[in-house]
Structure 1
Amino acid sequence: MTPRRVSRVASLIKEELSLIFLHKIQDPQLGVITITNVKVSADLRYAKVYISVYDKKNRNALLDKVDELKSMIRTELAHRITIRFVPELNFFIDDTNDYVERIEDIFKEIHKNDN
């Protein structure tokens, strides 16, 4: 596969997964989940799906719940997109925002006594 095709498929999967989480999954335990990134393997067989969750304290339990719903999510994705193989979905917590917050806190601490 060309990198451009892989990128287009990843973008399509991200968009469709966002809609699935918004409209099809009605589980109040999950709260607000955002699909932040999707990385698809070159053969389009596997997809790493990065999610951001509002509830930082229970994120591992939320990830477990999403993993339980994985087959239903993949089936729904298969109904929405037209490709030969719907990739195997693997969900991960995207902790980029946590990292950014830590860096900002460090900068604030460094510059606190600049006056």
Structure 2
Amino acid sequence: MSKNRHSEGSGPNQRQLRVGELVRRTLSDVLNKGDIHDPDLNRLSITVSEVRMSTDLKIATAYVLPLGGKNREEAIAGLKRNKHELRRALSKETTLKFTPDLRFLIDDTFDRLDETRELFAREDVQRDLGDDEEDEG
């Protein structure tokens, strides 16, 4: 088995995690300062929750969410529209050998948490959970 294939299945390595966090912090700072010259993007408060790096560190996938979860499509469109300016700011603010290509996706973690809470709140699930607790006791 080649090293690349093995590393893909075992999750990100320390270098990917470290570079991903550096890119996340830098993107967050650039967006918070309003350094991008796009009024539509600057009026949105966007959280960069995570950045995942490809194994060769040439692609950075940023998981983002606008404040309150509203205007998701507008946020992604604005980020994509300003990708080159964001890359330029990233290269200026970091000491990375190569500035990664940026991809943007909505972070749906909070949506999944809400769905999980709703699932656990259902009467039939509560009843099933109650049966498990009784069996253990």
Q: 2:47 aligns with which of 19, 22, 34?
A: 34
What residue is the counterpart of 2:13 in the other structure?
3
- Distance, in Å, in 1 between the alignment partners of 2:117 and 2:37 is 35
| TM-score where L is the length of structure 1 | 0.85
How many corresponding residue pairs?
Answer: 113
- Distance, in Å, in 2 between the alignment partners of 1:109 and 1:26 is 47
Deviating 4+ runs (over 4 angstroms): none
- Distance, in Å, in 2 between the alignment partners of 1:56 and 1:26 is 23
- Provide the identity percentage: 31
Bigger share in helix: 2
What CA RMSD, in Å, does the superposition of the two structures yield over aligned residues? Answer: 2.4
Q: Does 1:71 align with 2:84?
A: yes
Gaps of 5+ in 1: none
The farther-off stretch of 96-105 and 24-33 is 24-33
Give the 3-state SS of the residue equivalent to 1:104 in structure 2: helix
Gaps of 5+ in 2: 1-11, 128-137
Amino acid in structure 2 at the alignment position of 1:39: R
Q: Deviations over 1:51-109 (max 9, x none)?
A: 01125343112211110011100000000011111000000000110111121122223
- Distance, in Å, in 2 between the alignment partners of 1:20 and 1:100 is 28
- Higher relative contact order (Cα pairs below 8 Å, separated by 6+ residues): 1
The equivalences for 1:12-23 within 5 A come to 12-23=22-33
Give the number of the structure whose alpha-carbon radius of gyration is greater: 2
